[in-house]
Structure 1
């Protein structure tokens, strides 16, 4: 049995690491080389660009602020975006989309009274009655 020794590549900028990032819902990990002093936020950005370049599914988007990076073998909480990627001494990570609130439109636009959000009814072309009346008014062509 042959034992492999992990080797760090020395360059003028510092040590470089081959890291593997598994995206939840994707077929396999993304592998690329980064400087060990690279910030986690930059690594997430690089991973999203490589993911898009390879045309993987599902489509994730390019805003790195919507994602968190986990190291499942060392800690259970997400890594800070200002932490360096080499600080933990590991090379395998998991990229997960941040959980969104159930209705971000309500969170941003609805007024708050007594600590509770007021939900306003919407009228107009978005109602089901308008859609139903519009569908009935269309002329049916007979052959």
Structure 2
């Protein structure tokens, strides 16, 4: 049996580390986030296992760093992230961004609902609306999804 020298062992460890690094890089991908009311999308690289809440936070920080308008704020809990292809419901903040295989997203600010008071007859609407319905209401046109 032939003994391996120290340099051969370190070379094998380096090769293994390089393979591990490459596999980590393979789990990263570029996403595009369109923000309602903004002039253009934000693009950045994420790891497929990053949580949706982390992605929202990164998008808000990038948006603010670029000095974009309108000013959105930085509270992740005030925003919803939708897949452009599956806009029926928002992504859960605790799920992995890569779980849907999507690369294009829409970031929306949550709609604030009026509180019901004793003296008023206002009803609180419990209906959650997605970004498509917001566009339909705002611009009075229909977006047809297939």
What TM-score do you get using the length of structure 2 for normalisation? 0.63
**Which aligned pairs between 1:1-143 and structure 2 lie closer than 5 A?**
10-12=22-24, 15-102=27-114, 107=115, 117-119=117-119
Query: Hey, which of these two has a bigger chunk of strand by percent?
Result: 1
Q: Quick check: which one's helix share is greater? A: 2
**Aligned residue pairs, count:** 100
List alignment gaps of at least 5 residues for structure 2.
1-20, 121-146
Unpaired runs of at least 5, structure 1? 1-8, 108-115, 121-143
Kindly report the root-mean-square deviation, in angstroms, between the aligned alpha carbons of the 2 structures: 2.1
Report the counterpart of residue 124 of structure 2 in structure 1.
none
Q: Which runs of 4+ in 1 moved over 6 A?
A: none
Deviations 1:55-86 (A, max 9, x none): 00000000010000001213421000111000
- TM-score where L is the length of structure 1: 0.64
